[in-house]
């Protein structure tokens, strides 16, 4: 009869119980893969806005869960959009309305999204651009990686580096020299590690932010002679109030672009840069699928705002029309979302903070101004009343419902567009009395609090490590 080694048996049992507890600790709470994409407008395949865009990986992600067709940023600029999303406080509450306005003095550490996850026992990893100018503070992250990339060089085929402030041109570098490639490498390494605690992994991709300069192979996929300019119409600003024209600046970037004759080259460059970004999203998705966390990780992908490429005689963001405000928003939440679901309800990115808390069992802090969209993740046709709200500078607000966009400027002037009939916002209906009731309904949602703007001058500088 074999001898029973009770000490060894007890050790094995203890190890087994310990392993089960560790596994339970790892899997009982979902992880989060939080993907922020800079300057990505709605030129992604699944939103059907641009027929030439090639985004198979972002579209693959959309097919895995719920994609929102009317998702709008909190502000059409990097700094206020990201500060609002990460703090849960709208620009009209903090005074952070534009780039160059420092958010750390008005957004304490205790309020931010990452702090809630740290306090809930998560490890919180960040990489790339989450806040504007890659700002981040100690105490809000377990670990942060910026990514530097290699020295980038324009390819000899490039004419120059662009037109005025619109910078673009193919590069002679391989993909691995790009900072975003390094950022994704970091994220893949994290996905390949064994984690004793649930994790929140924030991955900030800088492209397609300018310069639209990526390896030449991406330009080759969209030949210049095939490029279609975005839909536009002459004299588009003739029914736009002065406040809107001031934002459009038609005599700036657009006039230079028309004079240069290189509008098609700029569009090609933006499309090429989107393709590069899509490749990085694909690498992330592949890495997650190969990891131990594929079945217990919430994914949310968002573009921080839209981008104009000549529509309404405007370039860049910094405006309150559809092109500047609308951006991709995709959710995959195991056990909550269903594959291949499309939601047409209008939501803004202030919903991301409370929804992540909701899905992970973290109490939503009282200061958060957005509403969880978990009901829409479960049922895309669930009732949803509030319009999406975007703000650019004090008292300038844009509202999006499923049918209309309403813009009200600080001087009281207005724009109203019927998206069922006019998806490119060419005809301003605001002066038509038959829409007074429509406008009045939107006006109920104008923020009660519209604080003065913070001074400019420090918001683009990296936050010091000891910032409060």
Distance CA 461, CA 464 (A): 9
Element (H, E) at 6: helix 6-27
Query: Residue 147 has what pLDDT?
Result: 81
φ, ψ of residue 148 to 5 degrees: the values are -110, -35
* Contacts made by residues 337-342, CB under 8 angstroms, sequence distance 24+: 337/65, 337/66, 337/377, 337/378, 338/65, 338/66, 339/63, 339/64, 339/65, 340/63, 341/65, 341/66, 341/67, 341/380, 342/66, 342/67, 342/69, 342/380
- Block means of pLDDT (10 residues each) for the chain, length 468 residues? 42 41 57 98 98 98 98 98 98 98 96 98 97 89 91 96 98 97 98 97 98 98 98 97 98 98 98 98 98 98 98 98 98 98 98 98 98 98 97 98 98 98 98 98 97 79 36
170 within domain boundaries: yes
Domain count, the chain: 1
Query: What angle do the packed helices 352-360 and 78-87 form, to 10 degrees?
Result: 30
Confidence at residue 28, expressed as pLDDT on a 0 to 100 scale? 83
Question: Which among 78, 325, 343, 357 is annotated as catalytic?
Answer: 78
Question: Beta strand pairing status for 388-391 and 397-400?
Answer: antiparallel
If we measure between CA atoms, which residue out of 259, 298, 239 comes closest to residue 64? 298
Burial class for 453, CB neighbours closer than 10 Å (0-12, 13-18, 19+): middle
To the query of whether residue 78 is one of the catalytic residues in this protein, the response is yes
> Which residues form the domain of 359?
29-443
Is 393 contained in some domain? Answer: yes
Task: Read off the CATH number of the domain in which 128 is found.
Answer: 3.40.720.10
Residue found by looking up tokens 């080759």 in the block: 220
Q: Is 132 a catalytic residue?
A: yes
At 25 the pLDDT is 42
Structural domain includes residue 157: yes
Report yes or no on 16 lying in a domain: no
- Kindly state whether residue 456 falls inside one of the protein's structural domains: no
Q: State the pLDDT at residue 458.
A: 53
Q: Spot the catalytic one: 132, 195, 209, 314.
A: 132
Per-residue confidence (pLDDT) for residue 16, from 0 to 100: 42
Residue 94 falls within a domain, yes or no? yes
Q: How far is residue 69's CA from residue 65's CA, in Å, rounded to a whole number?
A: 13
3-state class (DSSP) for residue 146 = coil
Listing DSSP states for 247-306 in one string gives: HH-IIIIIHHHHHHT-HHHHHHHHHHHHHHHHHHHHHHHHHHHHSTTTTSEEEEEEES--
């Amino acid at each position: 009869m074999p001898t029973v080694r009770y000490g060894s048996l007890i050790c094995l049992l203890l190890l087994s119980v310990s392993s089960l507890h560790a596994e339970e600790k790892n899997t009982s709470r979902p992880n989060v893969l939080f993907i922020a994409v800079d300057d990505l407008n709605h030129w992604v395949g699944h939103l059907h806005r641009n027929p030439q865009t090639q985004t198979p990986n972002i579209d693959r992600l959309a097919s895995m869960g719920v994609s929102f067709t009317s998702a709008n940023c909190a502000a059409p600029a990097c700094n206020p959009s990201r500060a609002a999303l990460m703090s849960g406080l709208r620009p009209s509450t903090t005074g952070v309305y534009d780039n160059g306005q420092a958010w750390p003095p008005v957004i304490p550490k205790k309020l931010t999204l990452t702090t809630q996850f740290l306090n809930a026992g998560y490890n919180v990893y960040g990489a790339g651009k989450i806040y504007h100018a890659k700002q981040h503070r100690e105490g809000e992250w377990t670990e942060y990686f910026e990514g530097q990339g290699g020295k980038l060089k324009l390819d000899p085929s490039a004419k120059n580096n662009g037109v005025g402030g619109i910078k673009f041109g193919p590069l002679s570098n391989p993909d691995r020299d790009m900072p975003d490639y390094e950022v994704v490498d970091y994220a893949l390494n994290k996905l390949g590690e064994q984690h004793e605690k649930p994790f929140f992994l924030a991955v900030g991709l800088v492209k397609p932010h300018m310069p639209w300069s990526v390896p030449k192979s991406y330009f080759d996929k969209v030949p210049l002679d095939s490029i279609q300019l975005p839909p536009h119409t002459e004299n588009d600003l003739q029914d736009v109030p002065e406040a809107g024209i001031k934002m459009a600046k038609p005599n700036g970037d657009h006039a230079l672009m028309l004079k240069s004759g290189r509008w098609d080259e700029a569009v090609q460059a933006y499309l090429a840069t989107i393709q590069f970004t899509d490749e990085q999203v694909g690498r992330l998705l592949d890495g997650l699928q190969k990891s131990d966390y594929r079945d217990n990780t919430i994914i949310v992908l968002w573009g921080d705002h839209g981008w104009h490429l000549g529509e309404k005689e405007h370039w860049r963001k910094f405006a309150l029309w559809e092109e500047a405000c609308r951006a991709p928003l995709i959710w995959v939440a195991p056990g909550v979302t269903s594959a291949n679901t499309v939601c047409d309800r209008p939501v803004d990115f202030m919903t991301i903070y409370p929804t992540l808390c909701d899905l992970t069992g973290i109490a939503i802090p009282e200061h958060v101004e957005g509403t969880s969209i978990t009901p829409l993740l479960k049922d895309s046709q669930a009732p949803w009343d509030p319009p999406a709200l975007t703000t650019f500078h004090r008292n300038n607000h844009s509202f999006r419902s499923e049918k209309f966009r309403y813009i009200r400027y600080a001087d009281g002037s207005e724009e109203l567009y019927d998206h069922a009939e006019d998806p490119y916002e060419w005809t301003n209906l605001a002066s038509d009395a038959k829409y007074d009731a429509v406008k009045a309904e939107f006006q109920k949602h104008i923020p009660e609090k519209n604080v003065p703007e913070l001074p400019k001058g420090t918001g683009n500088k990296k936050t010091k490590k000891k910032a409060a």
